[in-house]
Copies of this chain bind each other. A is one copy, B any other.
Amino acid sequence: MSDSRRRDILDATAIAIAERGLCETRIADIAEIIGVSPALVLYYFPTKAALLADAMIHLDRLFYESVSDKLEQAPTAEDKLMILIEESCPGPSVEGALPDSWALWPATWEMARHDPALAEARTRLDEAWRSQIVTIVEDGIAAGEFSQIDAKDFSLQLTAMLDGLAMEAMLGDPTVDAARMSELARAFSRRMLKGPV
């Protein structure tokens, strides 16, 4: 079982879902993206549903790791938070490249409603994500950068807001693009972290 080929398939699946949509993605589409036969896809994954679920988690993990790396290089808690927000905003979508992980979120949520394994994997990643925020905020409080708020509450509020804003930006809501999304999330953070307790 070549591990790189396996990753190829996961990448291709993410691309296919992003471009064609969850329901319209066929195994043949995935195979075509990397130029192999449909049978090979089922050689690496037991079933289509399992592949789809794995691909979503795969893309999420890539995103999580990429952002985690960037966070380490930021000096202050505030810098880290700004990077985290900026990275959460959707960039321009490029045909054939790995999509923003946003593009797969509705599909992930929809599938997770009936796939307990996927739901649990998603929850685990989400918790890791939020705990990053908690750490940043608590460090910021300790350093005197932020006021003493409940970091856990804030992390839940911020991630929820980012999710919601990203959906609107993704769907082309004329009042919410990536810039506005970033602005709103930053304004929220400022208000929560800088104001009087």
Contact = CB atoms under 8 A, between A and B. Distances in A.
A137 B176 CA distance: 20
A174 B111 CA distance: 18
Interface stretch (A36-44, A57-65, A74-82, A153-161): A153-161
Contacts of A106: 106-107, 109-110, 113
Interface residues of A, number: 47
Can you tell how many copies of this chain the complex includes? Answer: 2
Contact of A173 (B113, B126, B191): B126
B171 A113 contact: yes
Residue of A21, A110, A111, A192 with most partner-chain B CB within 10 A: A110
Contacts of A165: 156, 160
A51 to B, nearest CB: 14
A162 interface: yes
